[in-house]
Structure 1
Amino acid sequence: MPVTHPTQRVGVLADAQNLYHTARSLYSRNIDYSSLLEGALDGRELTRAIAYVIRANSPEEESFFEALVDIGFETRVKDIKTFEDGSKKADWDVGMSLDAVSLAPHVDTIILCTGDGDFARLCRYLRHEGCRVEAMSFAESTSEELVEAADSFENLSENEDTYLL
Protein backbone atom coordinates (compact mmCIF):
# COMPACT_ATOMS: atom_id res chain seq x y z
CA MET A 1 0.00 0.00 0.00
CA PRO A 2 1.42 3.43 -0.93
CA VAL A 3 2.43 5.65 1.94
CA THR A 4 0.22 8.56 2.98
CA HIS A 5 1.74 11.74 4.35
CA PRO A 6 0.48 14.97 5.96
CA THR A 7 1.12 17.14 2.89
CA GLN A 8 -0.96 14.92 0.64
CA ARG A 9 -3.73 16.93 -1.03
CA VAL A 10 -7.04 15.11 -0.65
CA GLY A 11 -10.45 15.32 -2.29
CA VAL A 12 -13.35 13.60 -0.52
CA LEU A 13 -16.45 12.66 -2.52
CA ALA A 14 -19.32 11.33 -0.39
CA ASP A 15 -22.28 9.51 -1.94
CA ALA A 16 -24.76 10.52 0.78
CA GLN A 17 -27.63 8.36 -0.53
CA ASN A 18 -25.50 5.22 -0.60
CA LEU A 19 -24.12 5.85 2.90
CA TYR A 20 -27.50 6.85 4.35
CA HIS A 21 -29.37 3.79 3.13
CA THR A 22 -26.64 1.41 4.23
CA ALA A 23 -26.31 2.96 7.71
CA ARG A 24 -30.08 2.89 8.16
CA SER A 25 -30.51 -0.70 6.97
CA LEU A 26 -27.54 -2.16 8.86
CA TYR A 27 -27.63 -0.12 12.08
CA SER A 28 -30.79 2.06 12.07
CA ARG A 29 -28.42 4.98 12.59
CA ASN A 30 -27.16 7.96 10.60
CA ILE A 31 -23.69 8.84 9.35
CA ASP A 32 -21.54 11.23 11.41
CA TYR A 33 -20.23 13.30 8.50
CA SER A 34 -17.85 15.27 10.69
CA SER A 35 -16.14 12.04 11.78
CA LEU A 36 -16.30 10.70 8.23
CA LEU A 37 -14.41 13.73 6.91
CA GLU A 38 -11.90 13.64 9.75
CA GLY A 39 -11.31 9.91 9.27
CA ALA A 40 -10.97 10.29 5.51
CA LEU A 41 -8.38 13.04 5.87
CA ASP A 42 -6.37 11.21 8.53
CA GLY A 43 -4.28 14.34 9.14
CA ARG A 44 -3.84 15.16 5.46
CA GLU A 45 -4.60 18.42 3.66
CA LEU A 46 -8.18 18.86 2.45
CA THR A 47 -8.47 20.33 -1.03
CA ARG A 48 -12.22 19.76 -1.50
CA ALA A 49 -15.00 17.77 0.12
CA ILE A 50 -18.22 17.28 -1.81
CA ALA A 51 -21.37 15.54 -0.58
CA TYR A 52 -23.85 14.36 -3.20
CA VAL A 53 -27.39 14.53 -1.85
CA ILE A 54 -30.91 13.96 -3.11
CA ARG A 55 -33.77 16.35 -2.34
CA ALA A 56 -36.84 14.26 -1.56
CA ASN A 57 -38.83 17.07 0.13
CA SER A 58 -38.59 15.63 3.62
CA PRO A 59 -38.82 18.12 6.50
CA GLU A 60 -35.32 17.66 7.95
CA GLU A 61 -33.30 17.60 4.71
CA GLU A 62 -32.56 21.35 4.43
CA SER A 63 -31.04 21.40 7.93
CA PHE A 64 -29.02 18.29 6.96
CA PHE A 65 -27.72 20.05 3.84
CA GLU A 66 -26.77 23.10 5.96
CA ALA A 67 -25.02 20.87 8.51
CA LEU A 68 -22.93 19.32 5.72
CA VAL A 69 -21.79 22.80 4.66
CA ASP A 70 -20.96 23.71 8.28
CA ILE A 71 -18.81 20.56 8.54
CA GLY A 72 -16.85 21.53 5.43
CA PHE A 73 -18.61 19.80 2.55
CA GLU A 74 -19.80 21.49 -0.60
CA THR A 75 -23.19 20.04 -1.44
CA ARG A 76 -24.41 18.93 -4.83
CA VAL A 77 -28.20 18.62 -4.68
CA LYS A 78 -30.36 16.73 -7.15
CA ASP A 79 -34.15 16.47 -7.02
CA ILE A 80 -35.61 12.99 -6.96
CA LYS A 81 -37.42 12.09 -10.19
CA THR A 82 -40.78 10.34 -10.03
CA PHE A 83 -41.93 8.54 -13.16
CA GLU A 84 -45.48 7.91 -14.39
CA ASP A 85 -45.42 4.35 -13.04
CA GLY A 86 -44.60 5.71 -9.56
CA SER A 87 -40.98 4.56 -9.59
CA LYS A 88 -38.34 6.98 -8.39
CA LYS A 89 -34.78 7.56 -9.46
CA ALA A 90 -31.96 9.76 -8.30
CA ASP A 91 -28.28 9.03 -8.33
CA TRP A 92 -25.08 10.94 -8.65
CA ASP A 93 -22.82 8.38 -10.36
CA VAL A 94 -22.08 10.51 -13.43
CA GLY A 95 -21.76 13.74 -11.43
CA MET A 96 -19.38 12.18 -8.91
CA SER A 97 -17.31 10.65 -11.69
CA LEU A 98 -17.03 13.93 -13.58
CA ASP A 99 -16.03 15.79 -10.41
CA ALA A 100 -13.42 13.12 -9.60
CA VAL A 101 -11.89 13.33 -13.08
CA SER A 102 -11.87 17.16 -12.90
CA LEU A 103 -10.40 17.17 -9.41
CA ALA A 104 -7.71 14.52 -10.03
CA PRO A 105 -5.05 16.86 -11.48
CA HIS A 106 -5.31 19.07 -8.36
CA VAL A 107 -5.01 16.40 -5.65
CA ASP A 108 -2.82 13.47 -4.72
CA THR A 109 -5.64 11.33 -3.33
CA ILE A 110 -9.36 11.01 -4.01
CA ILE A 111 -11.47 9.30 -1.37
CA LEU A 112 -14.76 7.85 -2.55
CA CYS A 113 -17.21 7.41 0.32
CA THR A 114 -19.50 4.87 -1.30
CA GLY A 115 -19.88 1.15 -1.71
CA ASP A 116 -21.22 1.39 -5.26
CA GLY A 117 -19.39 -0.94 -7.63
CA ASP A 118 -20.13 1.39 -10.53
CA PHE A 119 -17.14 3.43 -9.32
CA ALA A 120 -14.61 0.62 -9.84
CA ARG A 121 -13.89 1.73 -13.41
CA LEU A 122 -13.41 5.31 -12.15
CA CYS A 123 -10.89 4.03 -9.58
CA ARG A 124 -8.88 2.29 -12.27
CA TYR A 125 -8.90 5.43 -14.43
CA LEU A 126 -7.83 7.74 -11.58
CA ARG A 127 -5.02 5.37 -10.57
CA HIS A 128 -3.83 5.23 -14.18
CA GLU A 129 -3.71 9.04 -14.11
CA GLY A 130 -1.44 8.89 -11.03
CA CYS A 131 -3.99 9.62 -8.34
CA ARG A 132 -4.24 7.50 -5.19
CA VAL A 133 -7.82 6.27 -4.68
CA GLU A 134 -9.26 5.24 -1.35
CA ALA A 135 -12.77 3.94 -0.68
CA MET A 136 -14.70 4.18 2.58
CA SER A 137 -17.96 2.35 3.13
CA PHE A 138 -19.63 -0.51 4.96
CA ALA A 139 -18.13 -3.82 3.81
CA GLU A 140 -21.51 -5.56 4.03
CA SER A 141 -22.81 -3.44 1.15
CA THR A 142 -19.63 -2.64 -0.75
CA SER A 143 -18.88 -4.10 -4.13
CA GLU A 144 -15.84 -6.38 -4.13
CA GLU A 145 -14.91 -4.86 -7.48
CA LEU A 146 -14.69 -1.40 -5.87
CA VAL A 147 -12.54 -2.72 -3.01
CA GLU A 148 -10.16 -4.36 -5.49
CA ALA A 149 -9.98 -1.29 -7.75
CA ALA A 150 -9.08 1.15 -4.94
CA ASP A 151 -5.61 1.52 -3.41
CA SER A 152 -7.16 1.03 0.02
CA PHE A 153 -10.53 0.37 1.60
CA GLU A 154 -11.74 1.43 5.04
CA ASN A 155 -14.64 -0.60 6.39
CA LEU A 156 -16.84 1.83 8.33
CA SER A 157 -18.45 -1.14 10.11
CA GLU A 158 -15.19 -1.75 11.96
CA ASN A 159 -15.56 1.67 13.60
CA GLU A 160 -19.34 2.09 13.77
CA ASP A 161 -19.17 4.11 17.00
CA THR A 162 -16.87 6.59 15.29
CA TYR A 163 -18.75 6.95 12.02
CA LEU A 164 -22.37 6.62 13.14
CA LEU A 165 -24.55 8.93 15.21
Structure 2
Amino acid sequence: MNIPNILTLFRILMIPICVGVYYLPQVWAPWLASAIFLAAAITDWFDGYLARKLEQSTPFGAFLDPVADKLIVAAALVVLVESHASLWMTLPAVVIIGREIVISALREWMAELGKRASVAVNMLGKVKTTLQMTAIVILLSQDPTQDTWLEGLGLLALQISAVLTLWSMIVYLRAAWPVLRPKATE
Protein backbone atom coordinates (compact mmCIF):
# COMPACT_ATOMS: atom_id res chain seq x y z
CA MET A 1 0.00 0.00 0.00
CA ASN A 2 1.42 3.40 -0.97
CA ILE A 3 0.29 7.03 -0.62
CA PRO A 4 -1.44 7.29 -4.03
CA ASN A 5 -3.42 4.09 -3.37
CA ILE A 6 -4.37 5.30 0.12
CA LEU A 7 -5.68 8.53 -1.42
CA THR A 8 -7.73 6.54 -3.94
CA LEU A 9 -9.20 4.39 -1.17
CA PHE A 10 -9.90 7.57 0.80
CA ARG A 11 -11.87 8.88 -2.20
CA ILE A 12 -14.01 5.73 -2.23
CA LEU A 13 -14.62 5.99 1.52
CA MET A 14 -15.76 9.58 1.05
CA ILE A 15 -18.70 8.49 -1.15
CA PRO A 16 -21.09 7.32 1.60
CA ILE A 17 -19.95 10.17 3.83
CA CYS A 18 -20.65 12.77 1.13
CA VAL A 19 -24.09 11.29 0.40
CA GLY A 20 -24.97 10.95 4.09
CA VAL A 21 -23.91 14.51 4.89
CA TYR A 22 -25.90 15.87 1.93
CA TYR A 23 -29.11 14.46 3.41
CA LEU A 24 -28.55 15.77 6.95
CA PRO A 25 -31.41 18.10 7.93
CA GLN A 26 -29.04 21.02 8.49
CA VAL A 27 -28.71 24.25 6.55
CA TRP A 28 -24.93 23.68 6.25
CA ALA A 29 -25.21 20.09 4.99
CA PRO A 30 -25.05 20.90 1.25
CA TRP A 31 -21.95 23.04 1.77
CA LEU A 32 -20.20 20.34 3.78
CA ALA A 33 -21.15 17.67 1.21
CA SER A 34 -19.76 19.93 -1.49
CA ALA A 35 -16.52 20.38 0.49
CA ILE A 36 -16.21 16.61 0.93
CA PHE A 37 -16.73 16.09 -2.80
CA LEU A 38 -14.15 18.80 -3.53
CA ALA A 39 -11.63 17.10 -1.21
CA ALA A 40 -12.25 13.82 -3.03
CA ALA A 41 -11.84 15.53 -6.42
CA ILE A 42 -8.55 17.07 -5.31
CA THR A 43 -7.28 13.66 -4.20
CA ASP A 44 -8.01 12.45 -7.74
CA TRP A 45 -5.46 14.88 -9.11
CA PHE A 46 -3.09 14.48 -6.18
CA ASP A 47 -2.90 10.67 -6.21
CA GLY A 48 -2.01 10.64 -9.92
CA TYR A 49 0.61 13.33 -9.41
CA LEU A 50 2.18 11.47 -6.47
CA ALA A 51 2.12 8.13 -8.28
CA ARG A 52 4.15 9.68 -11.11
CA LYS A 53 6.39 11.88 -8.94
CA LEU A 54 7.23 9.16 -6.41
CA GLU A 55 7.24 6.42 -9.05
CA GLN A 56 4.58 4.55 -7.08
CA SER A 57 2.27 3.53 -9.91
CA THR A 58 0.81 0.09 -9.30
CA PRO A 59 -1.57 -2.17 -11.20
CA PHE A 60 -3.96 -1.90 -8.23
CA GLY A 61 -3.88 1.90 -8.42
CA ALA A 62 -4.26 1.90 -12.21
CA PHE A 63 -7.39 -0.21 -11.78
CA LEU A 64 -8.87 1.51 -8.72
CA ASP A 65 -8.30 5.18 -9.60
CA PRO A 66 -10.74 5.36 -12.54
CA VAL A 67 -13.24 3.21 -10.62
CA ALA A 68 -13.12 5.65 -7.68
CA ASP A 69 -13.65 8.60 -10.02
CA LYS A 70 -16.67 7.03 -11.67
CA LEU A 71 -18.20 5.94 -8.36
CA ILE A 72 -18.04 9.33 -6.68
CA VAL A 73 -19.27 11.19 -9.76
CA ALA A 74 -22.15 8.73 -10.27
CA ALA A 75 -23.14 8.91 -6.59
CA ALA A 76 -23.10 12.71 -6.61
CA LEU A 77 -25.10 12.87 -9.84
CA VAL A 78 -27.73 10.44 -8.50
CA VAL A 79 -28.09 12.58 -5.35
CA LEU A 80 -28.41 15.74 -7.44
CA VAL A 81 -30.96 14.19 -9.81
CA GLU A 82 -33.07 13.06 -6.86
CA SER A 83 -32.93 16.37 -5.03
CA HIS A 84 -33.33 18.68 -8.03
CA ALA A 85 -35.86 16.54 -9.97
CA SER A 86 -35.33 18.46 -13.19
CA LEU A 87 -34.81 17.51 -16.82
CA TRP A 88 -31.88 19.96 -16.89
CA MET A 89 -30.17 17.94 -14.16
CA THR A 90 -31.31 14.47 -15.19
CA LEU A 91 -30.39 14.57 -18.88
CA PRO A 92 -26.72 15.55 -18.36
CA ALA A 93 -26.45 13.00 -15.53
CA VAL A 94 -27.75 10.22 -17.80
CA VAL A 95 -25.33 11.29 -20.56
CA ILE A 96 -22.35 11.40 -18.18
CA ILE A 97 -23.08 8.09 -16.44
CA GLY A 98 -24.00 6.38 -19.72
CA ARG A 99 -20.80 7.56 -21.40
CA GLU A 100 -18.71 6.26 -18.51
CA ILE A 101 -20.27 2.82 -18.89
CA VAL A 102 -19.74 2.79 -22.68
CA ILE A 103 -16.13 3.98 -22.51
CA SER A 104 -15.24 1.63 -19.65
CA ALA A 105 -16.57 -1.30 -21.66
CA LEU A 106 -14.77 -0.06 -24.78
CA ARG A 107 -11.45 0.27 -22.94
CA GLU A 108 -11.81 -3.19 -21.43
CA TRP A 109 -12.63 -4.72 -24.79
CA MET A 110 -9.80 -2.87 -26.56
CA ALA A 111 -7.38 -4.01 -23.85
CA GLU A 112 -8.37 -7.62 -24.53
CA LEU A 113 -7.44 -7.02 -28.17
CA GLY A 114 -4.13 -5.41 -27.17
CA LYS A 115 -5.28 -2.01 -28.45
CA ARG A 116 -5.83 -0.18 -25.14
CA ALA A 117 -3.54 2.71 -26.18
CA SER A 118 -5.93 3.74 -28.96
CA VAL A 119 -8.56 4.67 -26.32
CA ALA A 120 -6.25 6.14 -23.67
CA VAL A 121 -7.28 9.24 -21.73
CA ASN A 122 -6.71 12.45 -23.70
CA MET A 123 -6.76 16.19 -22.94
CA LEU A 124 -10.45 16.52 -23.91
CA GLY A 125 -11.29 13.94 -21.24
CA LYS A 126 -9.32 15.90 -18.65
CA VAL A 127 -11.09 19.17 -19.51
CA LYS A 128 -14.44 17.37 -19.39
CA THR A 129 -13.63 15.89 -15.99
CA THR A 130 -12.50 19.24 -14.56
CA LEU A 131 -15.67 21.01 -15.72
CA GLN A 132 -17.83 18.12 -14.51
CA MET A 133 -16.22 18.10 -11.05
CA THR A 134 -16.56 21.89 -10.81
CA ALA A 135 -20.24 21.70 -11.75
CA ILE A 136 -20.89 19.00 -9.15
CA VAL A 137 -19.08 20.96 -6.41
CA ILE A 138 -21.24 24.01 -7.19
CA LEU A 139 -24.49 22.05 -7.43
CA LEU A 140 -23.93 20.07 -4.23
CA SER A 141 -23.47 23.35 -2.35
CA GLN A 142 -26.83 24.74 -3.44
CA ASP A 143 -30.22 24.29 -1.80
CA PRO A 144 -32.33 22.66 -4.54
CA THR A 145 -35.44 24.54 -3.35
CA GLN A 146 -33.82 27.91 -4.13
CA ASP A 147 -33.08 29.22 -7.60
CA THR A 148 -29.76 31.04 -7.38
CA TRP A 149 -27.34 32.33 -9.97
CA LEU A 150 -24.78 29.90 -8.59
CA GLU A 151 -27.10 26.95 -9.16
CA GLY A 152 -27.70 28.27 -12.70
CA LEU A 153 -23.95 28.43 -13.24
CA GLY A 154 -23.57 24.87 -11.92
CA LEU A 155 -26.33 23.60 -14.21
CA LEU A 156 -24.78 25.35 -17.20
CA ALA A 157 -21.37 23.87 -16.38
CA LEU A 158 -22.94 20.41 -16.02
CA GLN A 159 -24.69 20.73 -19.38
CA ILE A 160 -21.50 21.89 -21.09
CA SER A 161 -19.62 19.00 -19.49
CA ALA A 162 -22.32 16.64 -20.85
CA VAL A 163 -21.68 18.01 -24.36
CA LEU A 164 -17.92 17.52 -23.86
CA THR A 165 -18.71 14.05 -22.54
CA LEU A 166 -20.51 13.14 -25.77
CA TRP A 167 -17.74 14.72 -27.83
CA SER A 168 -15.03 12.76 -26.01
CA MET A 169 -17.07 9.56 -26.42
CA ILE A 170 -17.23 10.18 -30.17
CA VAL A 171 -13.46 10.77 -30.24
CA TYR A 172 -12.87 7.44 -28.44
CA LEU A 173 -15.33 5.55 -30.64
CA ARG A 174 -13.75 7.00 -33.81
CA ALA A 175 -10.31 5.91 -32.57
CA ALA A 176 -11.66 2.40 -31.95
CA TRP A 177 -13.75 2.26 -35.14
CA PRO A 178 -11.15 0.43 -37.24
CA VAL A 179 -11.38 -2.44 -34.74
CA LEU A 180 -15.14 -2.12 -34.17
CA ARG A 181 -16.38 -1.98 -37.75
CA PRO A 182 -17.56 -5.17 -39.40
CA LYS A 183 -15.07 -6.77 -41.75
CA ALA A 184 -16.15 -7.10 -45.36
CA THR A 185 -16.54 -10.72 -46.35
CA GLU A 186 -14.84 -11.87 -49.48
Fold similarity call, TM over 0.5: no
Higher radius of gyration, 1 or 2: 2
Structure with the larger strand share: 1
Question: What is the TM-score normalised by the length of structure 2?
Answer: 0.24
Question: What is the TM-score normalised by the length of structure 1?
Answer: 0.26
